[in-house]
Structure 1
Amino acid sequence: MPEIIAPSGLPARRSLAVSALRDYAAGATAGPNQNFRPRPRSADFDIRRAVANIVGRCRDQAKNNPSISGAIKRIVNNVVRFGIRPQFQFRSDGRIDIAANRAWEALFSRWARYADLTGKKSYWKMQRLGLAQVWPDGGFFLHRTWSKKSIPGVPDLRIEMLERDHLDRTVDGTLPNGNQARGGREFDDDGQVIAYHLFRNHPGDYQAGRSGLHSERIPASEIIDVWDQDWISQTMPVPWLAAVVIEAYNLAEFRDYSMIAAKLETAFGMFIKSNYPDLGHPGLGLQQVPGQAAASEWPTTWADMPDYIEPGRIQSIPFGTDIVFPSNTRPGPQYEPFVRESRRQQAVGLGMSYEAYAADYTAASYSSARSGSLEERLSYQGMQFFLDEEMNQKVAAWFIEAAWLAGLNPTPMPGFRFDPYPYLEAVTPQNPGWSWVDPYKDGQASELKIKNALSNHRREAAGQGIDFDENLDELIAIEQRLLELDQIRAERAKLQNPIQGAPSNGPTE
């Protein structure tokens, strides 16, 4: 029978074999991974089913796992530090109006002290708290409210921070008004959120059941929903700790069990070993002589052997026995490599270097630590971008609108009523930066970039979290004060030293 030739010119069997080799290995349905078959469902399907369990586990690790808790604090310190401050970019005659922008920034800084509705936190503290909340919860809400206690010269805008637990997830499906709801969020036909259904009180609070739980419909214009989207079909957040929480928990359990085993081994001081355990022979200790006082009251039989021997005591033991001291082998030689590898995996999921996450620089060279630090900063900058886009720019827009409504705008805002967007968008963030790893070399590189027109002074200053204009004004003010000091010193020198060439009243030769 003639062999069938495929269109490719190869025999059919060989063609099928070659085609099979070209399939994706990840799609193989046989072999050791044949049971690895997750279903391609929508992001919301998977999140809705597991989010409560994920959040509970992430919160537990954020509270009780020292490595995770410390990592979150370190991230917040690097990303937010003392606050991400706005830089207003209002213009006059097509040029940046520095004086006007300084006035706006001063007004914002004053308002930031009273930004929290409860009066407990400044806006800078709210930034820190919000970023820390994203890791175990996936996000948070900012609710725009207005203060009933006005402060002269300060806009009445106040912000209420809400955990995502306030969202009424039972509001789901088609609503009476025809809109679609997904887990407490109400959408229009374009897929934009138009309202949130939120509980006034936290449903998990110990007083929640006393007044009952009733959600309220709040327009989306009054809510800033801060969360990060990972999938196109995703409409609800996932905690940032989701990918590392199981690894962190398993390592914590391993360390606890290793600690218990080490404690048990340490608890045993010695063992009495005998080839005749059933024989109650008396010991070879000092024996009592008839007619004399007892030379010893120490027990010398198995039944009388003590469970504890205080330091300095001389104890006799039964005949034919040996003392065996246990060897403490916990934690074993594989403990440290295992812990290091687990923490390395967690550091990858957290966007940190292993050395920073584990506080372990014992095996790091200068070049590797420097490379890890620079790579880590890129991760921090990504988080700064997230906060700026999801939180800070929107809050700044609320502030500008509130200042205009209260008549507190430092500069005229013509046309704001009809087209506010040019004003609301005239804000850029001043993110915290980082000092140079190698000041001499990094300084030379910065100077070279400015010289070759690859950067400028403002960008290089912003890279270290410095406002170039403010720094320049401070330098000018310092130089002026130094000039005044030089003048004072010169005048003092004239008074203390006689002028050369002046007539003298003393004797002459």
Structure 2
Amino acid sequence: MGGNTNGPDGVPWGVLDAGLAMLAPRRAASRYAARVAIANLRRGYEAGGKTRVTEGWRGSNASADAEIAVAGPVLRDRSRDLVRNNALAAQAVQVLVNNIVGPGIRPRAASGNKAQNKRVDALWRSFAASCDYYGHTDFHGLLNLAVREMIEAGDILALKITTPGGGKTVPLKIQLREIDHLDTGRVQDIAGGGYTDQGIEFDADGRRTAFWMFPQHPGGTTRAIRRRFESERIDATRVAHLFERQRVQSRGVPWGAPAMLALRDLGDWQAAELVRKKTEACLVGIVFGDDETQASVAPVVQDSQGNKVEQFEPGLIAYARGGKDIKFNQPASTAGVYEWNRVQMHIVASGFRVPYALMTGDLSQNNFSSSRVGLNEFRRMVEQLQWQTVIPMFCEPIWRWFIEAAQLAGLLPLDAVIPAEWAPPRFEMVNPLQDVQADLLETRAGFASPQQMIAKRGYDPAAVIEEWAAHAEATDTLGLIFDSDPRKVSKGGNVQPTEQNTATDPATDPATGKPTTE
């Protein structure tokens, strides 16, 4: 062995292994392979090791709901405080709401029956205009507020309120309640294997059956004599609970939770830096001299009137006893403040999941390409939230309530199955000319249909086509030709050679559509 105590992979041989290798090489090789495997397991995940480097790292194997039950109320209160008082947090929330909801996520009936779809869409427009239980806004305003609450507080509750029927209106209203209404202190077992956790009632299979809510907001200004402190049971079929799921969980958390400490520290640092600058600016200089006759040896700083200086004021000149000189204050310069602030704001923007430029308005570090790449990724996230969270958890339940209420009121057939097609708001084009040209090329190549391109912009394809047909009929009747009419004008602006225009205008060249020279 030549005194070498390690194997070819650096694993120690040991005396027993060395002796066994001479007497039973196959057995020694088996032992050595096992030792290598054990050594590799020990090297595994460094983040999973318990060493001096990770000594202060505390983790938890608690469920998401257990962690939310403990930290949720504090996170919610602090998130709301930051949104109220911190400009960056307020802007981050507004950017998310603007992009997720914008002017609204609009439904279209998709039953397959054209006449029925028109009837349902008309009923929806009437319902959406006045569906707010409190009468403040319409459906799109409720959706805007619900998404804002989901981002700021973690989750929001929408209640189905049935109103007296009659006439041609759908007897349904939507009431939004902040998550504070939920009786999170209600935790109990229910006969049959069900249970209630954080105010949400589940059956034996873990499916929601009811919510326990306080009728009035626990933190409201309603007089205690009128406030009801007992929660009431509301069936789950009457509640839409909007929150983002990041684990297998029943409650949400504020979106700014990863950025809260960074945002708070940044605000504290800016306040401390401002106080330091103000303090330095208050003291102009100190004069040492012309009071040698005073016998006191206590160090005293006075102003020009002989009054003891106990606080600094702007433009102050102070006098020190026993001196012969004047010292002017020179405020210290702080290097790298802008860079440090920018790095911290990048961290905050990442925590809120919004682009730095949109949160801060600082476009100095952006060019066209980088802006477009960043916006594309942000838009993917927004589309994911729209289609996987907001629409299935909030929009779809309200659509089902609307259809059921209309059927029970006799406004729609009871046996009708009427799903909805949802149209989220369009994203503004970064470069409108190039984007439209790209859409046109995709459509002409057959990669997408005109209906898809219309829906992409947030419009109803059927409504647009009907409007186009009405416009074409009107222009044909009046004998008008517009550049926007592809039936009569080519992409290059030339008149299309159709039978109609060549018959009515013999001086037109059928090959080019241009007037002849004769």
Give me the TM-score of the superposition, normalised by structure 1.
Answer: 0.80
- 1:181 is the counterpart of 2:209: no
For residue 19 of structure 1, report the CA deviation from its aligned partner. 4.2
Contact kept? 2:195, 2:202, Cα under 8 Å: yes
Alignment of 1:286-365 (within 5 A): 303=306, 320-322=324-326, 324-327=328-331, 329=333, 332-365=334-367
For residue 193 of structure 1, report the CA deviation from its aligned partner. 0.7
How far apart in 1 are the matches of 2:215 and 2:303?
Answer: 75
SS of match in other structure, 2:234: strand
SS of match in other structure, 2:224: helix
Contact kept? 1:280, 1:302, Cα under 8 Å: no
Contact kept? 2:101, 2:424, Cα under 8 Å: yes
Q: CA RMSD in A?
A: 3.1
For residue 208 of structure 1, report the CA deviation from its aligned partner. 5.8
- Correspondent of 2:123 among 102, 107, 112: 107
SS of match in other structure, 1:91: coil
- 1:272 is the counterpart of 2:275: no
- 1:20 is the counterpart of 2:42: yes
Amino acid at match of 1:132: R
Counterpart position of 2:415 = 415
CA offset digits 1:220-263 (Å, max 9, x no partner): 1111111222212x222222222222222221222222222222
SS of match in other structure, 1:154: coil
Does the C-alpha gap of structure 1 residues 236 and 15 become closer, same or farther in structure 2, counting only changes over 3 Å?
closer
For residue 136 of structure 1, report the CA deviation from its aligned partner. 2.1
How far apart in 2 are the matches of 1:301 and 1:236?
Answer: 65
- Correspondent of 1:61 among 66, 82, 95: 82
SS of match in other structure, 1:29: coil
- 1:453 is the counterpart of 2:446: yes
For residue 173 of structure 1, report the CA deviation from its aligned partner. 2.1
SS of match in other structure, 2:286: strand
For residue 31 of structure 1, report the CA deviation from its aligned partner. 2.4
CA offset digits 1:342-367 (Å, max 9, x no partner): 11122222222111111110111111
- Correspondent of 1:254 among 269, 276, 281: 269
Alignment of 1:326-405 (within 5 A): 326-327=330-331, 329=333, 332-385=334-387, 386-405=389-408
- Correspondent of 1:221 among 224, 237, 246: 237
Counterpart position of 1:164 = 179
SS of match in other structure, 1:244: helix
Contact kept? 1:184, 1:198, Cα under 8 Å: yes
CA offset digits 1:190-239 (Å, max 9, x no partner): 1111111111111111326323401111111111111222212x222222
How far apart in 2 are the matches of 1:309 and 1:45?
Answer: 54
How far apart in 1 are the matches of 2:255 and 2:480?
Answer: 60
CA offset digits 1:30-72 (Å, max 9, x no partner): 1221221312111122111111111111111121111111121
How far apart in 1 are the matches of 2:471 and 2:457?
Answer: 21
CA offset digits 1:448-477 (Å, max 9, x no partner): 222332211122222222222222222333
Does the C-alpha gap of structure 1 residues 326 and 454 become closer, same or farther in structure 2, counting only changes over 3 Å?
same
- Correspondent of 2:105 among 75, 80, 84: 84
Amino acid at match of 2:64: A
Does the C-alpha gap of structure 1 residues 280 and 322 become closer, same or farther in structure 2, counting only changes over 3 Å?
farther
How far apart in 2 are the matches of 1:262 and 1:63?
Answer: 26
Does the C-alpha gap of structure 1 residues 349 and 277 become closer, same or farther in structure 2, counting only changes over 3 Å?
farther
Contact kept? 1:117, 1:147, Cα under 8 Å: no
For residue 78 of structure 1, report the CA deviation from its aligned partner. 1.8
Does the C-alpha gap of structure 1 residues 173 and 447 become closer, same or farther in structure 2, counting only changes over 3 Å?
same
How far apart in 2 are the matches of 1:261 and 1:79?
Answer: 41
For residue 388 of structure 1, report the CA deviation from its aligned partner. 0.7
Counterpart position of 1:492 = none
- Correspondent of 1:480 among 469, 473, 479: 473
Contact kept? 2:282, 2:315, Cα under 8 Å: no
- Correspondent of 1:241 among 252, 256, 260: 256
How far apart in 1 are the matches of 2:41 and 2:291?
Answer: 75
Contact kept? 1:280, 1:301, Cα under 8 Å: no
Contact kept? 2:188, 2:197, Cα under 8 Å: yes
Contact kept? 1:370, 1:437, Cα under 8 Å: yes
Amino acid at match of 2:219: G
Counterpart position of 2:217 = 202
How far apart in 1 are the matches of 2:252 and 2:52?
Answer: 35
How far apart in 2 are the matches of 1:300 and 1:135?
Answer: 54
Amino acid at match of 2:197: R
Contact kept? 2:152, 2:256, Cα under 8 Å: yes
How far apart in 2 are the matches of 1:300 and 1:220?
Answer: 73
Does the C-alpha gap of structure 1 residues 308 and 141 become closer, same or farther in structure 2, counting only changes over 3 Å?
closer
SS of match in other structure, 2:257: coil
Q: Which runs of 5+ in 1 are unaligned?
A: 282-298, 417-421, 489-509
Counterpart position of 1:502 = none
Counterpart position of 2:59 = 38
- Correspondent of 1:427 among 420, 423, 435: 420
Mean CA deviation greater in 240-249 or 123-132: 240-249
- Correspondent of 2:159 among 128, 132, 143: 143
Amino acid at match of 1:260: V
Counterpart position of 1:496 = none
CA offset digits 1:471-500 (Å, max 9, x no partner): 222233333344455479xxxxxxxxxxxx
Contact kept? 1:157, 1:399, Cα under 8 Å: yes
Counterpart position of 1:133 = 149
Amino acid at match of 2:342: R
- Correspondent of 1:121 among 133, 137, 142: 137
- Correspondent of 2:459 among 455, 466, 469: 466
How far apart in 2 are the matches of 1:76 and 1:217?
Answer: 31
Does the C-alpha gap of structure 1 residues 319 and 139 become closer, same or farther in structure 2, counting only changes over 3 Å?
closer
Contact kept? 2:163, 2:172, Cα under 8 Å: yes
Counterpart position of 1:291 = none
Does the C-alpha gap of structure 1 residues 147 and 323 become closer, same or farther in structure 2, counting only changes over 3 Å?
same
